[in-house]
Chain A
Amino acid sequence: MDGKKEPVFENRYPFEAKIQINEEKIKEIKENYNKISKLNLEKMRETKNRAASMAYFENVLLDKSERLKELKEFKAKGGKVIGIFCIHVPEELIYAAGCVPIRMSCGFYDTIAPAEEILPKNICPLIKSSVGFNFLKINPLFELCDVVIIPTSCDGKKKMADILSNYQEVWTLEMPHDRDNEISREFWIKQVSLLKERLEKLTENKIDKKKLKEYIIQLHKRTALVRELFDLRADKRIVIDGRDAYLVLQTAFFDNPARWMEKVKLLIEELKNNIKNNKVVAKETSPRIIMTGSPLIWPNMKLLHTIEESGAVVVADDSCACGQYFYNPVELEEWSMKAMIEALGDKYLLPVVCPVFVHSDDRIDRILELIKQYNADGVIYHILRLCQVFDFEYIKISKLFEKKSIPLIKIETEYSEEDAGQIKTRVEAFIEMLEARR
């Protein structure tokens, strides 16, 4: 770095406070997590004609012991596991460095209360749960993380990086606020290069050009596979519901990618057959919904259950916790290191429809495209309470959709179940409204 000091944060005032919680309580929260996961799956299994290949994804979610064993062995041989947040961390670089990324989950109500001890009150449940998950290690895979990478996306994520840096190694990945100019792009590509250097320092190995190309191609195949799965959902014969799509994609956050891809291929084959044989999970007349807004992260399936139990089906989404995460391909013609870094930078910046950027027009384009492509009847805009960026963008979208006569409803909620009744009324009324429009 030309003798310049690497811009790494050095915490000069680490604070000693720990979440005051006993082992018993942590055990209870872990058990509750499994209980809620099982309850979710029980509800999802009620769907008639559900693909048998879903069993693998259910199992991966419920029983992490196999993955845990794999990663422990990997670590024993000197491998590094890297926790990542958001949709902006170039996983290809991590794999190419010989490390394994795990996307950190943060959708569990019980992790909120303990985390509130060291967090401000008025922040969104996702951040609270992220911190809770990390401290309590509710997901056993999180204990394996040597480093956590946090993109400086929303304010919550930025400040969470500071809080977590009291306890573990945190790297921030600094993001521009505006994507629409060349300077932002250059800035971002520098950040991606910096990440590469840090990974090389961590592993004491240079990232090999061939290795990077190999993983770019592999993850590109994963993207193609997810697109293939999503294309099936555009069919008028509905063979997979939204909840199952979320489940499949969220297991990719931590599963072995090669194995996961094999299993998704099997699922796609089965679903194709089901389309052929008209083995559908919902009536052709079911209102078709596009999900947008704050991410719905396992086990927070409340809203998806409500929608699909009320007779509608989620056919697509632009969520960073589902379709969008795997949607963008890497575009490149030349395989020099410089070209690859730039292409990765572009993949994780330009097409990413995250509301942390100043402008949201391409997010709107994306939703409009999804409505057309998936022949949707309406859009459900989920807002986690105090998720300001999504709430801000709702206004522009609602004005536009009103003009275009696209049915849209905003559902503002949290992880708790206390408003389940009110949400059910809103969602049912929205579905009745969609049915009456036909």
Chain B
Amino acid sequence: MSLVAGVDIGSTTAKVVILKDGNPVSSAITYTGADCNAAAESILKEALQKIGADKNDLDYTVSTGYGRRAINFGDETITEISANAKGAVFISNDERRGDKIRSIIDIGGQDTKAIILDDSGRITNFVMNDKCAAGTGRFLDVIARSLQEPMDNFVKLALSSDAPVTINSTCTVFAESEVISLIANKVPKKDIIAGLHKSISRRVTELAKTAGIKPVVFFDGGGAKNIALKQWIEKELGYEVYVPKQPQMVVALGASIFAYEKFQKKNVSQ
């Protein structure tokens, strides 16, 4: 029997997936907050408690995400890019009955990524957004807050527009002031919000095209929970993308699979 964990410390949320003999048995998610290590500790404890286990029962732990080195435990680290690919391939085998994915779009809190895979699920190329927050989950959070709309309603409004405006600014700060002047000009809120989704989707797909995106496209990260974003990305690409059941957990799952593989290899060599 083996019990391993994958811990993904993202800029906004921290996630944990636990595998028992290679199968997911538990997971948990929380806000990262100011203390990566505390968030990771508590979320790991929570996930383990769900199956009546504790840290001592873990055979191998792999951490990933931008805070992968900021935590005080774990056997190894892996980048979120490799972890994402591993998780996505596992899920597509499971949820899509082996339908091979060839690209991943990941919209997270701080980063947007596009990852290209070959037939056997190995990464052949990847790109990430620039250091600024435009085109990331944070961008939509900032604008939703300045428009005083909760996220659910923000997305609903985006879906209800027939005439999205064009947002020209690619910088979060400038886009926010552009939005404010649109409001002052009495442009309907739903058209502004739809325009924002459209603008992000265009940026993301442009990024993905430079990496060589091709179907089947797997869309994950917190941004994949946003249906309006999914629709606009599909419009920009001209084909459907696949969103897994739990898009935020893919990277943590990938890290846990990596932990499982490592643990098995270790056992074989011993």
Contact = CB atoms under 8 A, between A and B. Distances in A.
A421 B66 contact: yes
A422 B212 contact: no
**Residues of A contacting B: mostly:** helix
Interface string A417-438: 0110110011011001100110
B79 A425 contact: yes
A10 interface: no
Interface string B64-83: 00100000000000111110
A428 B128 contact: no
Contacts of A402: 125, 212
Nearest to A405: B124
A343 B80 CA distance: 52
Given A418-B131, A421-B66, A428 B125 contact: no
B126 interface: yes
Contacts of B175: none
B81 A425 contact: yes
Nearest to A413: B131
Interface residues of B, number: 16
A386 to B, nearest CB: 13
Contacts of B131: 418-419, 422
Interface in A194-221: none
A426 B66 CA distance: 11
Nearest to B68: A425
Contacts of A407: 124
Contacts of A426: 128
Contact of B79 (A405, A418, A432): A432
Nearest to B122: A436
Contacts of A412: 130
Interface residues of A, number: 18
B111 to A, nearest CB: 8
Nearest to A402: B212
B123 interface: yes
A405 B123 CA distance: 12
Contacts of B111: 422
A408 B212 CA distance: 13
A362 to B, nearest CB: 25
A429 B82 contact: yes
Given A425-B80, A428-B79, A433 B123 contact: yes
A409 B124 CA distance: 10
Nearest to B77: A428
Interface in B110-128: 111, 122-126, 128
A412 B210 CA distance: 14
Given A405-B124, A429-B123, A432-B78, 9 more contacts: A402-B212, A418-B131, A425-B128, A426-B128, A429-B126, A432-B123, A433-B122, A436-B122, A436-B123
Interface of B: 66, 78-82, 111, 122-126, 128, 130-131, 212
14 contacts: A409-B126, A419-B131, A421-B66, A422-B111, A425-B66, A425-B79, A426-B128, A428-B79, A432-B79, A433-B81, A433-B122, A433-B123, A436-B122, A436-B123
